[in-house]
Amino acid sequence: MIASSLLVGCQFGVEEANNVPKANTTQTIPASNGEKSKVIPFVYTAKKELTLTFNGMGDDATMKKLLDELDKYQIKATFFLPGMRVAEEPEIAKEILKRGHEIENNTLNHLDDAQLSYEQIYKEIQLGNDVIKKQTGVTPSYVRTKSGDVTDNVRLAAAALGMKGVVSYSINPKDRDMKKDAKAIGEYVERFMTRGGIITMNTDINPEVIPAISYIAKAANDIGYKLVPLGELVKNGGERKPLEQIPGYDAAKINPDTKNATYHLIYQMETNEPKIALTFDDWGSDKTVTKILDILEEHDVVATFFLRAKGVEDNPNLARAMVEGGHDVANHSYSHPVVTTISPQQLQEDLVKAHRVITDAIQQQPVMLFRPPTGVVNDETARLISAVGYKNIAMYDVTMLDWDARHSADDIVNGIMTKTKNGSVILLHMLDNIHTVEALPVALEKLKQKGFKFVKMADMVPK
């Protein structure tokens, strides 16, 4: 290994023969003006894309095996490389680029940046950039710390050095745990796979990372997602506006005065026309919800999704995908309480929080419909809900209790076909490990054969 004299801010320079640019030890590090680089734990996008990233740099044999495995599954990844390792074995870095992958900065010495001063962090990033540029011709745009954690000093230094961002992650299978085999690593990634997600793994710790690639590739393929380099993911993604800049973010407000509050409970639409509304409640994994969205697209059906906002908070891209798919999204609370069992203040705070989380996720005001969890509501709580800004409370007249996995796909289909009539509101759920996804395409075909047309539930609101 190259001399450890580069550690922690003492001497950052070594001989040119070691392929590391010599640092000017008398250099004055410019003071930060307070601007901080943005942090990127995931990319805001509704596209079916995410990125696979690696930290560190293993030995030549390990890296070639890893690159071969990525080639086998046609995956292009992003490698965050420590400058010192690039200086030691520049041919590995060049091979990474030759195979079509990206290289970014993992700092010079791959140290714990939480223990370093601003000046030390600045030099770690700067010299990491310099080494990578000298050995590969590539100027890094992004930096990641050893742990993936982000401090203010890291953000300040990255901004001062003109980096585009400090990259964290949204999916960490914790492959540092040597007890985890390839299957466990792959299953973890599959469980948390999301649009715009950033997967982080290491090249130089657990050899099971290499065989884990096959599991990750299969998981992405099963859901219809593509693994792309970070730069491509960012390019295809968008910028989220601050909540306060989104029209309608404050359409729901705390308002304890319910004296003049009026509300509408909407169970169905009174009509002789064969119009029905298909609605989904709660939340699920990317895999489950994407299957639902794919089925709806295939059958050219629009729906209304009532979202549990705590789930949206963890995966805003999935909510945005619903909107971009032409569907409506609405409020199903933040924490899914039975509204009649909590205090008036708790109820209104929950609704407002949910409204803002959903608005922030989809970058527009959601449809102003609220569906109470479990469908339980009374006059007092309905007035509280209305006073917040949700005057229209979305109920339903067709439910098969599909949230209960004991109800088979046939049970769900038969229930829908028996109960649905002109103006019906059908309630389904987007939970994992139930039979709704299996039942949905069959039910849609049967309903269309009977002449039913699908509308959004907002179309049923009294004018």
**Per-residue buried b or exposed e for 375-403, using 16+ beta carbons within 10 Å of the residue's own CB:** eebeeebbbbbbbbbbbbbbbbbbbbebb
Question: Could you read off the pLDDT of 204-250 as tens digits, one per residue?
Answer: 999 999 999 999 999 999 999 999 999 999 999 999 999 999 999 99
Q: Is the pLDDT of residue 45 over 50?
A: yes
For 18, 99, 209, 244, the CA distances from 96, given in Å and listed in that order, are 21, 5, 17, 42
pLDDT of residue 462: 74
Q: How far apart are CA 374 and CA 314, in angstroms?
A: 22
Band of residue 131 on the pLDDT scale cut at 50, 70, 90: very high
The lowest-confidence range among 15-19, 153-157, 392-396 is 15-19
Q: By the 8 A CB rule, do 206 and 175 touch?
A: yes
Q: Which residue has the higher pLDDT, 462 or 137?
A: 137
Which domains are assigned to the chain?
A: 30-236 (3.20.20.370), 243-460 (3.20.20.370)
Q: How far apart are CA 129 and CA 141, in angstroms?
A: 9
The amino acid sitting at 310 is K
Average pLDDT of every residue of the chain? 93
pLDDT at 30 over 90: no
**CA angle, residues 129, 135, 138, in degrees to nearest 5:** 55
d(CA 435, CA 405): 6
In this prediction, what percent of the chain has a pLDDT beyond 70? 93
DSSP string, 271-290: -SS-EEEEEEEE---HHHHH
Task: Taking residues 424-440, report their average pLDDT.
Answer: 97
- Interior/surface letters 431-447, b for 16+ CB within 10 angstroms, e for the rest: beebbbbebbbebbeeb
pLDDT score recorded for residue 114: 80
Give residue 461's pLDDT.
84
What is the average pLDDT across 392-411? 97
Residue 190: name the closest of 211, 214, 167 by CA.
214
**Phi and psi at residue 302, to the nearest 5°:** -100, 150
Burial of 34 (0-12, 13-18, 19+ CB in 10 A): exposed
pLDDT at 127: 97
- The strand ranges marked E within 274-379 are 275-282, 304-307, 328-331, 369-370
Q: Which helix (H) or strand (E) element contains residue 226?
A: strand 226-227
What does the pLDDT look like over 73-123, one tens digit per residue?
Answer: 999 999 999 999 999 999 999 999 999 999 999 999 988 888 899 999 999
Is the per-residue pLDDT at 1 higher than 60?
Answer: no
